[in-house]
């Protein structure tokens, strides 16, 4: 989460400081700078696959090939009630994958177990979070 925030801040600073008279550096670009210069979907494409929540909750992300790059299908069980399961169309953004569900627009973003707000996932490091209390992790 901190990495994503720092990368976003770095991008804003770099874009505000661009100058056509700047000379190229021979130093290799950092991973963070490289990620920021890539289309959003190159980061979120790495999220494709199955993510596990608590008590049988899950998230399965697949590419929505007909819709084109940066478009996804999010199949998820996001609650314990029978009607809290569905497939939603998502689109890559600078912050994650945006999608609409029930109460309106949602954002799926990278985080860790602590960001999920669930004690069962606290030790996890590779997670996706919709909101505090709703997160999915990989082992």
Quickly state the pLDDT bin for 19 (edges 50, 70, 90): very low
* pLDDT tens, position by position, 34-90: 344 457 788 999 999 999 999 999 999 999 999 999 999 999 999 999 999 999 999
In DSSP terms, 101 is beta-bridged to: 104
Q: What is the pLDDT of residues 80-121, one digit of tens each?
A: 999 999 999 999 999 999 999 988 999 999 999 999 999 999
What integer pLDDT is reported at residue 92 of this predicted model? 97
Distance CA 93, CA 116 (A): 20
Whole-model pTM?
Answer: 0.71
Find the farthest-apart pair of alpha carbons in the chain and give their distance in angstroms, rounded.
Answer: 60
């Amino acid at each position: 989460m901190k990495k994503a925030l720092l990368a976003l801040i770095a991008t804003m600073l770099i874009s505000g400081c661009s100058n056509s008279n700047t000379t190229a550096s021979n130093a290799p670009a950092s991973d963070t700078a490289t990620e920021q210069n890539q289309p959003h979907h190159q980061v979120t494409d790495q999220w494709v696959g199955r993510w596990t929540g608590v008590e049988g909750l899950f998230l399965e992300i697949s590419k929505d090939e007909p819709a084109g790059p940066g478009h996804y299908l999010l199949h998820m069980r996001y609650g314990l009630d029978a009607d809290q399961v569905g497939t939603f169309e998502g689109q890559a953004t600078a912050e994650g994958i945006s999608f609409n569900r029930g109460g309106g627009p949602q954002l799926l973003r990278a985080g860790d177990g602590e960001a999920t707000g669930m004690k069962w996932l606290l030790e996890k490091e590779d997670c996706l979070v919709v909101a505090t209390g709703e997160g999915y992790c990989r082992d």
